[in-house]
Structure 1
């Protein structure tokens, strides 16, 4: 009988491979765990990564689902290899670590500490609750783009880009509304009425819309600035949906949140391709 685990029991994957895995993970089968210190995480981390510092792993490993594929990472790959080996010893069957660590990650990162559970999320929401929340957040983003179009002196190209982004959000809202209408037992108003009734304090990603930003007469310098802002927003939305999936008790609700995260990833790819064409 095998006792304990060694580093040979942990699969090392490259940052490129991890990026491919995350891009294709539609069901939330993989959980990325950042085992660095909070100060390191705050400075920059992978979108959707859960922070469990190495020195807290013994006390918090039960926050991880043993049926999932766990991928650890740290600054250079050493701490995360130790963490993955320890998780293996604790009974986790599918454990990986990112070789080279955060230093070798050449893709998008986020900074700061996201809310673990925003105030409008309780953790026991059903699918219709999540869909309504998603509609609210998408509408907040659409309002952000539309108001930005009329804020200050923006070029015709920038206005066209903002208008295109607003129309993309409109299509997403319509898709979410139709799905919401098909599953809810309650009588719901027409979409245009519902949009007017919703409170849009938050935009996608659970981020409050800055009134000061909307009043700024020079929000965007050019079309590239618009697209970079949109890419940042969509990554925050992806991160938001991924994290919310981890706190949901209902399996179908978790699945829906992973689907929403995947749609945000599709938006990101569209925006990146648009940015490439301009550059």
Structure 2
């Protein structure tokens, strides 16, 4: 019915939307009583990136991916590095339609020119707010022998992750911190940390998915040794302790952006010290932006 409300089931926010209303992520809308991915196929950013930039350091090193991003996100991190698209809606950002068929076709053409091109990365904004586009593109990519990479905050309902897990060849999930308070500061819905942890656990358990995890270290928010050690210990415990060898953990330096544009960068010494803390539990720890 045209006047009926609908609940979005993509993330723990579970937006209750009147007919025609847009969700908090700015990418999904109630159309005729059904919540649809309005940003489906609306690409704001397209680039050819080395896989190491995602960052993925232990998956197909030396390879390249066609990186595609849209607009919208279900979080509002005050330090967002891509806020111009992640915090935008259709009316205040430039985009163009790019169907899954066309994106896969462009990537196949790039791979024909350069065999180092191995697939497509869904990145820049939050891909899961239009997870259907990731799914449809991944299915076509697999038919062409192309890989799918997911770079995400992981804040989604388990059913969404379940739909995608077997289609994702590599993922980097952003673990922002290890407390609900940190996720509250990022504008996340209640239950966000649990959802992110569940997403990491599910992707780790998927045999065909290579998983890496990133924490952007923001001074005064998540830069304590206790918090980083808790995250690293939990990651190491996955799969009965197999996470210690299998998961690559990126401890990344913050630079001021968006609502924290005036904040000082994380001291390099802090990033390196926290990486050493993580190494108490994990074999593969990398520092970024240093």
- TM-score, normalised to structure 2's length? 0.26
Counting strand residues as a fraction of each chain, which structure ranks higher? 2
Counting helix residues as a fraction of each chain, which structure ranks higher? 1
Structure of higher CA gyration radius:
1
- TM-score, normalised to structure 1's length? 0.26
Q: Which has the higher contact order (CA 8 A, sep 6+)?
A: 1
